[in-house]
Amino acid sequence: MTDADAKVEGETKTEEETKPEEKQDEEKPPKEMRAVILNGFGGLKSVKIVKRPEPVLADGEVLVRVQLCGVSFQDVMVRQGVTESPPKTPFILGFECAGIIEALADDVENFKVGDRVVGLPDHRAWAELVPVNAKYVYPIPETIAIQEAAAVTLSYTVAYLLVHDLANVSSGQSVLLHSAGGAVGQAVCTLLQDIGDVTVLGVASKNKHEDIKESVTHLIDRGGDIPAEVKKVCPDGVDVVFDCQGGEECSRGYALLRPLGRYILFGSSNIITGETKSILSVVKSWWQVDKVSPLRLYEENKGIIGFNLRRLLHHQPGGHERVREVIQTVYNLWQKGVAKAHIDSTYALEDITEAMTKLHERKNIGKLLLDLSMEPKPKPVTPAKSKKEEKKEEKEEKEEDDKANEVTKNNAKNEKEEESKAEEKEK
Amino acid sequence: MTDADAKVEGETKTEEETKPEEKQDEEKPPKEMRAVILNGFGGLKSVKIVKRPEPVLADGEVLVRVQLCGVSFQDVMVRQGVTESPPKTPFILGFECAGIIEALADDVENFKVGDRVVGLPDHRAWAELVPVNAKYVYPIPETIAIQEAAAVTLSYTVAYLLVHDLANVSSGQSVLLHSAGGAVGQAVCTLLQDIGDVTVLGVASKNKHEDIKESVTHLIDRGGDIPAEVKKVCPDGVDVVFDCQGGEECSRGYALLRPLGRYILFGSSNIITGETKSILSVVKSWWQVDKVSPLRLYEENKGIIGFNLRRLLHHQPGGHERVREVIQTVYNLWQKGVAKAHIDSTYALEDITEAMTKLHERKNIGKLLLDLSMEPKPKPVTPAKSKKEEKKEEKEEKEEDDKANEVTKNNAKNEKEEESKAEEKEK
């Protein structure tokens, strides 16, 4: 599982020379590191913990010796192959890491070896050593523990942009918040409490209600009749809807806005149903979203706003500069005691699939972290497999991966076609 | 022109009894007032200054002895019959008046006879006496002259809602502002200057540039290549577009947004071309507006927001309460020296068509007011008409009005049909 895999990965740079005598010392391979890779888009079996050659720095990058990684719903979506333009498999998963700078490219300023930082690369964050372009590296203030920073940085950055830059929530207003129990949801709740006198209608699975009841004004069951529940509290509708579900929630959310209200779409998690991608749910999440005419918004005094941090940070001009400012603000809020880490649980790197399952099943309250110093949980003892059985399993896995990749390609093609057809129709 | 006309108007309440001897005293008719009425949707000839019976108060209303009226582009649109659900003609035009309270219905609190107020009724504001529901009446602070209040109230209320409630403009951002020379445009400029360090790209007709150059950072010619001019100053686009034109400006404005930018549509003045409604421009202003998918906004990190003060104030829950708060804020800003009256010119009631023409031709810089104490301008002397000529002109006018009304009806019908067809298509 070491050398063969290492060579598959296309994006790692030149493999450094290793002396033959070191290779024999299996206990302490000096130039390898652990990483979580995705072998093919699909289910949990596509996710593997492997040894990889240590990365080499490119211009503009810092090398982070990672202590903690953040896991979010987006990682589940990447695994299933339902995000936009992911890398070719196999690649290292993950968008968030925190640790110590081990090396810097010559052209990197403002950082030094030993700095404690958070890195937000575009994939490839879940490894012991991660090269990150300095544009996406943020120094952690002295007073904040690395674990806190790992839990706070991304969630509060998204929450801050949503609450302040986009929704511009003020005292006396009302907010409908989907996934109130998630890490971003809990961060949004905290920021809204800081504004004061905001009515927060939080949607969460029934089993989370007891734990998050302090953070919202009214709890709504994820499985219930959300519009009816909202209307009970706010008969004229709400000022803001924060929706990370997408699909049919878009029209529902829009309809629940009162005049001057704004609907903010910041995710499309209801594209995810089973463990692997369902073409139907992908297509549904697309066609359930009604297009809206600006004239209707003019008539109804409403607004629709989209927010996508990954696109903003990595693919749009001015994005990373604004994110850096917001992260600074978030750390200031932490120091003032406003921003708080909401950690659900911490896993060893090897237990990543367990973390993903918890997210997928929407059982987490707050942030899930990977701690690279943690020992993996003991695996349940299973009867020893015969060589034949092992071979069979490997073959099935391979077929599953291939199928998943094929589906991904076809879907992407179909969606593109559907989209251009629809655009044609619009014209 | 007096009695006959008075009886035509449907919405005035029971005509008070007038003694026969008073009727003979033509110099000082005690129970009549001057008003600007619209006889039928169409051109300037449909607008008449007539004598009307003094209105009687209904529950919840105050009677305002009007001194000044505001004229805005919306009045031109009402005249042409291109606004949503206007009253049946004939009716008194106008949305803004300022004066002294002359009487109150028994159930009205918080006001007393003699109070100086601004009234923002839904039509019927251009008369010597105007009954306004107290919900839409705003006391003018002692330190503000009635003329200032008449010029400031509506423009700054719209501007404040646009800049602060909806666009949430902050220092360091850039704004593209259409109709920068208009009353609302100038108010927006003032509020943006008050925020500080906002790059304002103001679109205005060339002839206004000299007069408004202090209020914007960059001037753009209304007739020029606006996107190219914007890109010169802001290559990545602007944070905010304030568009009161609509039509094809919608897509153009949207395309000029940088990530996290928001396009705000607050009018559709490019529905207006000639003096009377052009069906083509009505249809164009509708089909030129592309519908947008929330998924696209999510992808592009952009927002689209609609704003329509009349709908908010008169037809939507919570609207008049928010407007009242904003008007209070605007008066506070006036007292701090931030809000300033931008008055282009003041006309006698009888010269209303001149004011409308100036608006239509987009020649005003700032607010147009009607002053009910002003003498009308002397009319150019024309050779005396024969009785026959007069009769002929009257007949032509009547035909024109009828035609305009017919066109309005048909258009409304066609638009409805087009709309439902398109909606059908969407489904």
SS (H, E, C) chain A: CCHHHHHHCCCCCCCCCCCHHHHHCCCCCCCEEEEEEECCCCCHHHEEEEEEECCCCCCCEEEEEEEEEEECHHHHHHHHCCCCCCCCCCEECCCEEEEEEEEECCCCCCCCCCCEEEECCCCCCCECEEEEEHHHEEECCCCCCHHHHHHHHHHHHHHHHHHHHHCCCCCCCEEEECCCCEHHHHHHHHHHHHHCCCEEEEEECHHHHHHHHHHCCEEEECCCCHHHHHHHHCCCCEEEEEECCCCCHHHHHHHCEEEEEEEEECCCHHHCCCCCCCHHHHHHHHHCCCCECHHHHHHHCEEEEECCHHHHHHHCCCHHHHHHHHHHHHHHHHHCCCCCCCEEEEECHHHHHHHHHHHHCCCCCEEEEEECCCCCCCCCCCCCCCHHHHHHHHHHHHHHHHHHHHHHHHHHHHHHHHHHHHHHHHC
Residue A167 has which token pair?
A: 């929704």
Of the ranges A230-239, B273-282, B343-352, which one carries the lowest mean pLDDT score? B273-282
- For residue B376, the 8-state DSSP code is P
Q: What is the pLDDT of residue B280?
A: 83
Q: How many residues are given for chain A?
A: 427
Q: Taken in order B216, B218, B221, B224, is the CA torsion positive or negative?
A: negative
| A145-177 pLDDT tens trace | 999 999 999 999 999 999 999 999 999 999 999
- CA dihedral A307→A309→A310→A315, nearest 10 degrees, is 80
| B350-395 pLDDT tens trace | 999 999 999 999 999 999 999 999 999 987 766 555 556 556 655 6
Q: Taken in order B149, B155, B158, B163, is the CA torsion positive or negative?
A: negative
Asked if the Cβ–Cβ distance from A295 to B268 is below 8 Å, we say: yes
Over residues A392-406, the mean pLDDT reads 53
Judging contacts by C-beta atoms under 8 Å, the chain B residues touching residue A261 are none
Q: What is the pLDDT of residue A390?
A: 55
Is residue B313 a contact partner of residue B319, using CB atoms and an 8 Å limit?
Answer: yes
The closest alpha carbon to B350, from B48, B39, B40, belongs to B48
Nearest CA-CA distance, residue A5 and chain B, Å: 34
> E-assigned strands of B297-385?
302-306, 343-347, 367-371
Asked if the Cβ–Cβ distance from A265 to B307 is below 8 Å, we say: no
Asked if the Cβ–Cβ distance from B303 to A305 is below 8 Å, we say: yes
Nearest to B306 among A250, A301, A318 (CB): A301
List beta partners, residue B393.
Answer: none
Flag whether pLDDT at A384 surpasses 50: yes
DSSP SS3 for B146: helix
| A82-116 pLDDT tens trace | 998 899 999 999 999 999 999 999 999 999 999 99
Contact partners, residue B125, CB within 8 Å, separation at least 6: B66, B69, B70, B92, B93, B94, B95, B96, B97, B119, B132
Judging contacts by C-beta atoms under 8 Å, the chain B residues touching residue A168 are 165, 168
Nearest CA-CA distance, residue B19 and chain A, Å: 48
List beta partners, residue A66.
Answer: A99
Residue B388 has which token pair?
A: 């026959």
Nearest to B302 among A292, A298, A306 (CB): A306
- For residue B365, the 8-state DSSP code is S
ipTM for the whole complex: 0.83
Nearest CA-CA distance, residue B239 and chain A, Å: 11
Asked if the Cβ–Cβ distance from B300 to A319 is below 8 Å, we say: no
Nearest CA-CA distance, residue A294 and chain B, Å: 7
**Higher pLDDT residue, B113 or B416?**
B113
Among chain B residues, the shortest Cα distance to A322 is held by B260
In the chain, the amino acid numbered B28 is: K
* CA–CA gap between residue B157 and residue B150 (Å, rounded): 12
* CA–CA gap between residue A335 and residue A324 (Å, rounded): 17
Flag whether pLDDT at B195 surpasses 70: yes
Among chain A residues, the shortest Cα distance to B237 is held by A317
Nearest to A265 among B298, B311, B312 (CB): B298
* CA–CA gap between residue A237 and residue A384 (Å, rounded): 60
Q: Considering the entire predicted model, what is its pTM?
A: 0.83
Asked if the Cβ–Cβ distance from A265 to B301 is below 8 Å, we say: no
Over residues B170-197, the mean pLDDT reads 97
Q: How many residues are given for chain B?
A: 427
Asked if the Cβ–Cβ distance from A291 to B291 is below 8 Å, we say: yes
Q: What is the pLDDT of residue B23?
A: 45
How wide is the angle at C-alpha A79 spanned by C-alphas A77 and A80, nearest 5°? 65
Q: Residue B296 — φ and ψ, nearest 5°?
A: -70, -40
Asked if the Cβ–Cβ distance from B259 to A311 is below 8 Å, we say: yes
Judging contacts by C-beta atoms under 8 Å, the chain A residues touching residue B303 are 166, 262, 303-306
Contact partners, residue B26, CB within 8 Å, separation at least 6: none
* CA–CA gap between residue B93 and residue B123 (Å, rounded): 5
Nearest to B258 among A259, A301, A317 (CB): A317
Peptide linkage before B29 cis (omega within 30 of 0): no
Mutate to test the interface with B, among A157, A239, A297 (most CBs of B within 10 A): A297
Nearest CA-CA distance, residue B51 and chain A, Å: 35
Asked if the Cβ–Cβ distance from A306 to B305 is below 8 Å, we say: no
Peptide linkage before B90 cis (omega within 30 of 0): yes
Quick one: pLDDT band at residue B287, thresholds 50, 70, 90?
confident
A359-363 contacts: CB < 8 A, separation 24 or more?
Answer: A359/A71, A359/A72, A359/A73, A359/A75, A359/A76, A360/A76, A360/A272, A360/A275, A362/A179, A362/A181, A362/A182, A362/A205, A362/A222, A363/A205, A363/A207
